[in-house]
């Protein structure tokens, strides 16, 4: 069940959430951790908005190392959230911020085979779109020592700051 946002007037549409995920340069993966503390880590990512089995709100591809705290946490509990801030402009004189952000909720898993290749290619196309040959070569050389996580996104929620909501409404 998707919880309702408390400040629904500030909620972003699915299209706006998708645009933020398409344009942002990094996000923060939040896990339950392994030692009683939550664990959150900033990561490069690519977002595929197409719904798929087990991923009604699309998929996130996350790049990382093949060992470490993140993978230990996911082995214990694969449920995650992934947060992206698409805009943040402090408005000091009003003690507020003009922001837009998205949180994706889902289940993370390690990608293998063709899915891993597809995810790595999506990351390469996102961060180096003008260098497809170089990306392909790098994937070929390093895929064996690179982890690619897939987050099957169950739902997205996005929010903007009250200042932006008021601006849209012409107030």
Q: Is residue 130 part of a domain?
A: no
For residue 94, tell me if it sits in a domain.
yes
Hey, what are 108's tokens?
């993370």
Closest CA to 156 of 70, 48, 76, 64: 48
pTM of the model: 0.89
70 belongs to a structural domain: yes
User: What's the length of the chain?
Assistant: 171
Q: Which pLDDT does position 90 carry in this prediction?
A: 86
| Domain interval for residue 94 | 8-113+146-166
CATH code, domain carrying 95: 2.30.110.10
Q: In what order do the strands lie in the sheet with 39-43?
A: 39-43, 27-31, 79-91, 96-110, 147-160, 59-64, 45-48
Within-domain flag for 118: no
Report yes or no on 108 lying in a domain: yes
Instruction: Give domain status of residue 124, yes or no.
Output: no
The answer to whether residue 135 is domain-embedded is no
**CA angle, corner 99, sides to 95 and 100, nearest 5?**
160
- Residue 58 resides in a domain: yes
Range with the poorest average pLDDT among 1-5, 13-17, 55-59, 130-134: 1-5
CA atoms within 13 A on the CB side of 85: 9
- Distance CA(13)–CA(82), nearest Å, equals 17
pLDDT per residue over 12-52, tens digit each?
Answer: 999 999 999 999 999 999 999 899 899 999 999 999 998 88
Q: Which of 100, 111, 12 is nearest to 55 (CA)?
A: 111
Tens-place pLDDT, residues 82-135 = 999 998 888 888 888 888 999 999 999 999 999 999 999 999 999 998 998 999
Cβ atoms of 100 and 119 within 8 Å: the answer is no
- Report the domain count for the chain: 1
């Amino acid at each position: 069940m998707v919880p309702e946002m408390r400040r629904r007037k500030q909620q972003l549409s699915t299209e706006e959430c998708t645009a933020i995920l398409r344009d942002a340069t990094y996000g923060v993966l939040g896990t339950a951790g392994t030692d009683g503390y939550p664990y959150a880590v900033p990561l490069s990512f690519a977002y595929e908005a197409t719904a798929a089995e087990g991923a009604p709100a699309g998929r996130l591809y996350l790049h990382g190392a093949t060992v470490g705290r993140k993978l230990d946490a996911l082995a214990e509990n694969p449920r995650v959230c992934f947060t992206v801030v698409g805009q943040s402009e402090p408005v000091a004189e009003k003690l507020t911020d003009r922001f837009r952000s998205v949180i994706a909720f889902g289940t993370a898993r390690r990608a293998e085979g063709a899915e891993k290749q597809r995810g790595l290619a999506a990351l390469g196309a996102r961060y180096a779109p003008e260098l497809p040959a170089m990306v392909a070569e790098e994937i070929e050389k390093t895929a064996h020592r690179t982890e690619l996580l897939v987050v099957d996104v169950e739902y997205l929620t996005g929010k903007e700051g009250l200042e932006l909501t008021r601006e849209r409404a012409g107030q």
